[in-house]
Amino acid sequence: MMAVPAPTAVIPEPTPLELGAIHSINQTIELLDWDLVDKQLQKGKAYFLRDATLSEWEAYVTTEDQQLKSKNMEWIDGKLFIVELPSRPHERYIARLIIAANAATHTGLRFLDIAGAAYQTNIRRLEPDVCLMPRRVLGQPPYNVQLPPGVNWNDFHTVKFEVGWFQSWDQLDRKANQWETVVNVVYIVCIQLDYPTLAHCSYKVHHVVHHGVALPAMVPIPIAADTAVVHLDSRLVLHLPAPSPLPPNFPPQLDIDLLAALEDLRGDASWTWTYATYGHAQTLHIPRDSLDSIRTTMQTPKHLLSEWPSTAISGNDLLSSCLYSAGIVASKAGKLSPIPTFLVTCVMYLFRFIYIEVVSAIPLNGGSYNTMLNTTSKKVAAMTATLAVIAYLATGVVGAVSASDYLRAQVPSVNNVESAIGILFVFALLNVLGLSESAVIALGIFVLHIMTLLILIVGCVVFSFNNPHILRSNMQTPLPDLDICGSLVTSNVFTAVFFGFSSAMLGVTGFETAANFVEEQQPGIFGAILRNMWFLSSFFNLSLSILNLCVLPLLGPAGTIANNNIVLALMARETLGRGFELWMTIDGFIVLSGSVLTSYVGITGLVRRLACDRVMPEFLLAENKWRHTNHYIIWLYFAVAASLVVCLNGDIVMLSSVFSYAFLGLLLLFSGGAILFKVKRSHMPRDTSAAWYTYSDLQQLTHKLGVCRWKCIVALVMVCCGFLGTLLGDPTVSVVFALYFLVVGSLVFIMLERILLLRVCMFVMKSLCPSKKDKAETKSSDSSDLDEPLLQPRTGALGGRTIRKAIQAINAPPVVFFCKHMSLSLLNKAVRYVRTNEHTENIQIVHVHAPGTADPVGFADLVGVFDSMYPETKIDYVSIEGTFEPALVQWLASYLHISTNMMFIRQPDNIDAHKVSLLGVRVITS
């Protein structure tokens, strides 16, 4: 043979005749029986595809429109052969080989570059798997590397690696003999992987001394513990002339370990079916009429709730707490109960602006869960969702038990446990029948309840002026003893205020409700709703806490502490008589029952969101055909709520403590999420910004909304105090809370880790019930995706195919990441986030470029790099010409058959991108 230089000429564009040949080759590939191809290759023989001229083959290699990658094919004397099939284990070994070669240099890529498939135009487009090439810096002193004639630095390959997965040694030797004709090639390393067991893998190292002379026959060397390291002379690899020194830290000899990469592959051989297929690049053209139709639909005015109906829906839940919180706080703080109530008022003043800042930036239903999902990982958000579920659970239970307590005050024969379960059942049935919350009805109940409380307050004020001795008597009473960690402790001012504060937080439960239906509210009114809620809860809680001391004695059988669950009814009878007591009881029963209805509506919406995000089982989204309600969610909620009533025997104090755990946990996570939101999502547009600390300067006290700006950390610390007080107050409640948290959390954990659990099942089955058949399966010949691995190795476990299908079904739905710029770090963050938080094997990287502009050069190639870096995930590149807007996002979601919850975006820093995030597109990077 004659030695030839590596070419540098640019390949011309294919002619129309060559384009026809490309189409013909692709058609031939489409009609292949892949079972026959696979059987032929397993015998170590290349599969004949068709006749083709060299110019037709070169045209096919240079085109991007390849049904089968050209590196899996070979042109020999006017014939095309398939020599390899796409295989993730093959690609994985190559990736490990590149890492091993890079590590052997001790200097990274500073002096020696590593390239993938690099063909030579004058030797029939043979493409090795890995090439090593000296870098341009070696052409300068003191190294002074001289390039061979006709060779540039990009084509200066000194070492070539070829990894054969199906290829026989005859095929590998033929390739090696063609590569040795290139003047700059010094070493040729051929590796044969023994498919499918990987038990007998071997390699050959050819040292090319005389180009143009056939390589001597060699016996393959087994890849074993004592023979697996390939030794390459560094001076020859770098093409250094005799007097030139080696680069600093570069070893005299490159020692590349072939066994380490192979062991990694062997250890994962039974899981090769989990490798995804190869990613693709495509361009989508959106039909104008489809986009216009979506815009029209989105611009259609929707019926949204105004300020006071929205306040009413949240306020009924919030102000229902007044019916039982005053007595519970008094039982902890005694005569000092107004002090912890005032502290709670201050804390909720802080949370008012924290909620406004976060929700105005991400105005989506979900409250704390949605905040944590857009600032932290999905696992942290799922824990928040677990607390939210328990909070709704406790809302319904406390509301039902309190309503039954008010009913029993008038009808003593009523069993509060049975009546509470009956209330829960009635509202479950009403929800299944389709009776959800009505804003008009909610507003009517809200107005009625406020009027009732105002009348009660006026009556109590008049009564207190006429009977001042009650207040004086209460001020002389000792502070009530406290049950701390199961021991009765004599109280003091600090403990009374501390534990009273944790109990007083119960009086503002429901404050978070407005954030859970923000999408149904008119734009710009969320701040007004929170203002109304804060003022009303502060006014009524503080007023009733003070007036309670003026109307009822703290001690005695008719006192506040002994009747802490029906304090307002007793105050009504004492001040305005039996008739108003009956009216107060009816009002309390209606409002508390309304909170039960709110809990059903809230839990249904929350669980639906969690199921869409694949945090809860998707079967919960099922609707009955009659009323189109989510009956599974409703009846499961009823069953769990009823069990909680029975478990705690309808004890309102213990139930309230469970409620406090969940509510305080939500506030704790939300305040922490707000801090993270400031740090990680600082550029997102928002209505206001809750400051980190309180300003002492009067000039700086002015907020753009006319109020003070407070510290996020103060709110966090205060909530921690409340949580600690609840924990120490009654540790037995923490056991109940932990039990229900464990039940709900276990369901969430199973959903988030179901792939891992299925793999554990596979491992156990493989150990206990191994499959008797070890031969790999092949895909059916009617597969439409030729890049998909045609090999389906058996799992080695009895029932393994069923588990495999379940895992593949879970991983099938794709996710979308909208990427504006070509950024290596941004794409890597996005891919790592998806791999950590989502069950999928397909990531669609979508770039939207303005009409009339070209798709960025190299974007698809960059995405292809990540597709190779992560073999378990298929990473596609999608280019769309258009304007990045909500209508485009909706069209793409419909086109890909996914929800917008499974679409991700980096932190939006402009209004247009922010509008897209309002559709539910998740913010995952800064």
What confidence tens digit (pLDDT) does each residue in 384-407 have? 888 888 888 888 888 888 888 878
pLDDT at 88: 66
**Whole-angstrom Cα distance, residue 444 to residue 425?**
24
- The pLDDT score that the predictor gives to residue 116 is 67
| Residue 922 neighbours by CB under 8 Å, 6+ apart | 373, 374, 901, 903, 904, 905
Q: What is the 3-state secondary structure (H, E, C) of 808-830?
A: HHHHCCCEEEECCCCCHHHHHHH
Phi and psi at residue 132, in whole multiples of 5°?
-105, 135
| Mean pLDDT of all residues in 455-480 | 91
What pLDDT score was predicted for residue 546? 92
Q: How many CB atoms lie within 10 A of CB 627?
A: 12
CATH of 302-750, one of 3.90.650.10, 1.20.1740.10, 1.10.1740.10, 1.20.140.10: 1.20.1740.10
> Of 538, 543, 564, 588, whose CA–CA distance to 329 is shortest?
564
Parts of the chain belonging to CATH 3.90.1570: 88-274
Confidence bin at 685 (pLDDT 50/70/90): low
Q: Could you tell me where in the chain the CATH 1.20.1740.10 domains are found?
A: 302-750
Residue type, 819: C
Provide CATH 3.40.50.620 ranges for the chain.
Answer: 281-290+812-925
Please, which pLDDT band fits residue 206 given cuts at 50, 70 and 90? very high
In angstroms, the CA 19 to CA 108 distance is 41
Cβ contact 95:871 at 8 Å: yes
pLDDT score at 846? 93
Mind listing the pLDDT tens digit for each residue in 280-308?
788 888 888 888 888 888 777 777 888 88
Q: Which among 247, 267, 248, 589 has a CA at the least distance from the CA of 407? A: 589
Superfamily of domain 281-290+812-925 in CATH is: HUPs (3.40.50.620)
Predicted local distance difference test score (pLDDT) of residue 704: 36
Please indicate whether residue 594 or residue 902 has the higher confidence score (pLDDT). Answer: 902
Q: How confident is the model at residue 267 (pLDDT cuts 50, 70, 90)?
A: low
CATH 2.30.30 given to domain 88-274: no
At 192, which helix (H) or strand (E)? strand 187-192
Beta sheet of 112-115, edge-to-edge order: 112-115, 130-134, 159-164, 187-192, 202-207, 221-222
Q: Note the pLDDT of residue 63.
A: 75
Of 409, 446, 445, 338, give the one whose Cα is nearest residue 571: 409
Helix 731-752 with 754-768: angle, nearest 10 deg: 80
pLDDT range class, residue 339, cuts 50, 70, 90: very high
645 beta partners: none
Please give the pLDDT value at position 909.
60
| For range 484-503, the mean pLDDT | 84
pLDDT band at 520 (very low <50, low <70, confident <90, very high): confident
Q: How high is the pLDDT of residue 772?
A: 62
Handedness of CA 350, 354, 360, 363 (dihedral sign): negative
Residue type, 35: D
Render pLDDT for 399-449 as a digit per residue (tens, 0 to 9).
Answer: 888 888 878 878 888 888 889 899 899 888 888 887 655 677 788 888 999
* pLDDT > 70: percent of the chain: 86
Torsion angle in degrees (nearest 10) through CA of 323, 327, 329, 330: 150
Mean pLDDT score, 356-384: 82
In this prediction, residue 11 carries a pLDDT of 43
The amino acid at 724: L
Inter-residue contact 149 to 168 (CB < 8 Å) = no
Bridge partners of residue 482, in order along the sequence:
489
Using a 10 angstrom Cβ sphere, with 0-12 exposed, 13-18 middle and 19 or more buried, the burial of residue 897 is exposed
Task: Judge contact between 315 and 536, C-beta under 8 A.
Answer: yes
pLDDT category at 756 given cuts 50, 70, 90 is confident
